[in-house]
């Protein structure tokens, strides 16, 4: 196995803050490397150093002669009027040995990825632009590809496509990602960039699960080392405190060793200190059962029906994930719920005084020229959280921002730090309903885990869009799948929705194969008649109803146990809250059974 890139004693600082020092790393032919770590620790910087897009402060990077590199930025950028075919052809020509090879390579890739070569880049969605950037990199036949947060803006089908690309890639690659499913399924080595390690990185062979085990073992060893050093240091400090007479009888090296030991202990302890992001959205305490109700809502954009006759109710305790390919109406539905957009038909009934917090994926509330301190505190030196004044530096520290970073502009923060800043701002607004559009983009894994814990404990309602499969599984108790034709289906979990996607594709293939020009009209008439009684999307909803009811009844049983817990029987406020939750769970079960009965009646 040949070495493509070798790094020795690398050091890099950003805004005067050391990211890593003494870093040693090799990238070999055939490597599949996942780079993870806290936001701002230097993951993207390390990727740019390896790709020769940035210079290290110190150290050496050696690259194999004539190494062909491809680099995929977090945000794809193409001339808006350039066509997909032209962009891929240009990339192929820049790397191919001759024009015939370039044309063949480009046409083959365009066909494999399903691109329309005549479509302009400006008309593509964020997800298709990401696919285009990967295609432009792949067509150059690189020896080594670098990908910085490649799942951003990709829908679920795009992520599954990316998984196949990475698993079957004929080239080595290194990827910055926080998608735990993707890391588990594709990588052969994990590199964590974090200040808790002496050189700033920890390298573990194997997938993400293997990394978790090895990191746990490493931290346990460091903790034992800290305890050993602490015991030795305590004895040396006692000796040093005995005074000049005791020290005069000892060799000077004993004093030097004691000071060295104290420094070692300080270094180990400082590395073991991990600042955790503390996320805790404030709820208003509203007792209203129905926060928003959609009745026969329809919406079209650009002459295409995005949402057609949508009906559902949002109640406290519900955590709804919106699923679907890019362009199927997920963000449009969030904007309807927030009041930013109006429906073409139907009614959206909102509870009086409903308080909504909206996290938009474009982060339009962030002004790149504004300082972090001013953004968080609106020019003041403090913020108000749950009725109490908190100094802005203390508030920023909850989200892993140092006092020095308060004077940095938002544009100079990493993507993950910008996401954390926006969460820190939104948390100051009490809410009945959280609308979250791709909140996981750019967030590091520790922050994702903190966000998951916070949303699990939020007593209001949540409607979110995310393509992070692990995050959806942790946070949501119901999924609404949008199919691109305006219809919506209810699903119990991500696995059920993914299975529905596979069934859709198989049904489409079978329909195409079975289509014939001749004649047995009678045999084809029966399915058509059946579809009038139960539409395709209704059939999908019906097929998933048992699982949805099982999940709702499981939640009902949990709420029942809480309400009957003797530990809260003497606390009237907790009893009242528990029975309110119980009633909401019962209402959901009743609604699902009613819908099931309605669908069954159409089959009779």
**Which residues does 34 contact at the CB level (< 8 Å), separation at least 6?**
174, 175, 177, 183, 186, 187, 189, 190, 191, 208
d(CA 407, CA 506): 55
Rounded alpha-carbon distances, angstroms, from residue 551 to 407, 555, 556, 588:
48, 6, 9, 10
**Taking the model in full, what pTM does it have?**
0.67
- Same domain for 118 and 15, yes or no, is no
d(CA 152, CA 419): 13
> Quick check: is 100 in a domain?
yes
- Assigned token pair, 40: 């701002």
Q: Identify the pLDDT of residue 105.
A: 78
Provide the sign of the torsion angle of the four alpha carbons 173, 174, 175, 179, taken in this order. Answer: positive
Residues 132 and 147 in one domain: no
Domain count for the chain, please give it.
Answer: 3
User: Taking a C-beta distance cutoff of 8 angstroms, is the pair 171, 198 a contact?
Assistant: no
- Report yes or no on 197 lying in a domain: yes
Sheet holding 144-148, edge to edge: 69-72, 144-148, 172-176, 32-36, 189-193, 201-205
Closest CA to 428 of 476, 362, 382: 382
CB 429 within 8 A of CB 355: yes
Dihedral sign computed on CA atoms, order 300, 492, 334, 586: positive
Return the structure tokens found at 255.
């004093």
pLDDT value, residue 218: 82
What are the residues whose beta carbons fall under 8 Å from the beta carbon of 253, sequence distance 6 or more?
none
Residue 297 falls inside a structural domain: no
d(CA 234, CA 588) in angstroms, rounded, equals 60
SS3 percent helix, strand, coil of the chain, rounded to 5, is: 50, 20, 30
pLDDT of residue 550: 77
Domain contains 220: no
Residues 50 and 158 in one domain: yes
Give yes or no: residues 161 and 50 share one domain.
yes
Q: Answer yes or no: is 403 within a domain.
A: no
> Residues of the chain whose pLDDT is less than 50?
246-247, 249-251, 516-532
Domain final residue pick, 155, 174, 206: 206
Structural domain span for residue 233 = 226-272
| DSSP H/E element including 203 | strand 201-205
User: Could you tell me if 36 and 12 lie in one domain?
Assistant: yes
Query: What torsion do the CA atoms of 522, 523, 525, 529 make, to the nearest 10 degrees?
Result: 130
């Amino acid at each position: 196995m040949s070495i493509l890139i070798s790094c020795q004693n690398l050091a890099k600082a950003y805004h005067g803050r050391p990211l890593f020092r003494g870093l040693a790393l090799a990238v070999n032919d055939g490597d599949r490397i996942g780079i993870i770590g806290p936001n701002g620790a230097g993951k993207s910087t390390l990727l740019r150093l390896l790709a020769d897009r940035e210079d290290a402060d110190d150290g050496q990077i050696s690259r194999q002669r004539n190494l062909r590199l491809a680099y995929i930025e977090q945000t794809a950028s193409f001339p808006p009027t350039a066509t997909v075919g032209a962009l891929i052809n240009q990339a192929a020509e820049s790397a191919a040995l001759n024009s015939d090879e370039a044309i063949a390579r480009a046409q083959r890739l365009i066909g494999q990825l399903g691109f329309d070569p005549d479509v302009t880049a400006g008309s593509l969605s964020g997800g298709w632009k990401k696919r285009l950037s990967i295609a432009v990199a792949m067509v150059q036949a690189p020896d080594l590809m670098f990908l910085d947060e490649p799942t951003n803006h990709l829908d679920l089908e795009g992520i599954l496509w990316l998984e196949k690309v990475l698993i079957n890639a004929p080239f080595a690659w290194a990827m910055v990602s926080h998608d735990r499913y993707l890391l588990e399924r594709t990588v052969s080595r994990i590199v964590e960039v974090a200040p808790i390690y002496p050189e700033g990185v920890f390298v573990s062979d194997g997938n993400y699960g293997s990394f978790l085990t090895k990191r746990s073992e490493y931290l346990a060893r460091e903790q034992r080392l800290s305890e050993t050093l602490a015991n030795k240091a305590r004895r040396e400090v006692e000796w040093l405190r005995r005074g000049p007479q005791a020290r005069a009888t000892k060799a000077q090296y004993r004093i030097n060793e004691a000071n060295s030991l104290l420094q070692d202990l300080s270094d180990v302890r400082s590395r073991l200190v991990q600042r955790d992001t503390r996320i805790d959205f404030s709820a208003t305490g509203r007792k209203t059962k129905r926060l928003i109700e959609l009745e026969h809502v329809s919406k079209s954009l650009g002459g295409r029906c995005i949402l057609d006759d949508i009906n559902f109710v949002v109640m406290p305790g519900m955590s709804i994930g919106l699923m679907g390919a890019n362009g199927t109406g997920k963000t449009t539905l969030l904007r309807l719920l927030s009041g930013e957009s109006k429906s073409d038909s139907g009614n959206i009934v909102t509870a009086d005084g409903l308080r909504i917090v909206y996290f938009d994926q474009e982060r339009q509330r962030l002004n790149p020229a504004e300082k972090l301190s001013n953004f968080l505190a609106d020019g003041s030196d403090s913020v108000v959280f749950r009725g109490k004044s908190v100094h802005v530096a203390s508030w920023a520290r909850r989200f892993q921002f140092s006092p020095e970073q308060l004077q940095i502009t938002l544009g100079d923060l990493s993507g993950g730090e910008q996401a954390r800043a926006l969460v820190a701002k939104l948390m100051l607004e009490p809410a009945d309903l959280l609308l979250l559009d791709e909140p996981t983009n750019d967030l590091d894994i520790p922050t994702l885990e903190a966000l998951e814990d916070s949303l699990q404990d939020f007593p209001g309602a949540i409607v979110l869009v995310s393509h992070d499969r692990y995050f959806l599984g942790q946070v949501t108790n119901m999924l609404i799948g949008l199919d691109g034709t305006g219809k919506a289906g209810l699903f119990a979990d991500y696995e059920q929705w993914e299975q529905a996607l596979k069934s859709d594709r198989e049904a489409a293939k079978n329909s195409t194969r079975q289509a014939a020009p001749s004649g047995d009209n009678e045999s084809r008439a029966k399915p058509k008649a059946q579809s009038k009684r139960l539409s395709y999307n209704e059939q999908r909803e019906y097929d998933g109803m048992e699982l949805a009811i099982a999940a709702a009844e499981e939640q009902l049983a949990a709420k029942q146990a809480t309400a009957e817990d003797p530990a809260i029987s003497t606390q009237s406020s907790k009893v009242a809250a528990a029975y309110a939750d119980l009633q909401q769970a019962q209402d959901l079960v009743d609604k699902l059974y009613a819908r099931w009965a309605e669908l069954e009646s159409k089959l009779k």
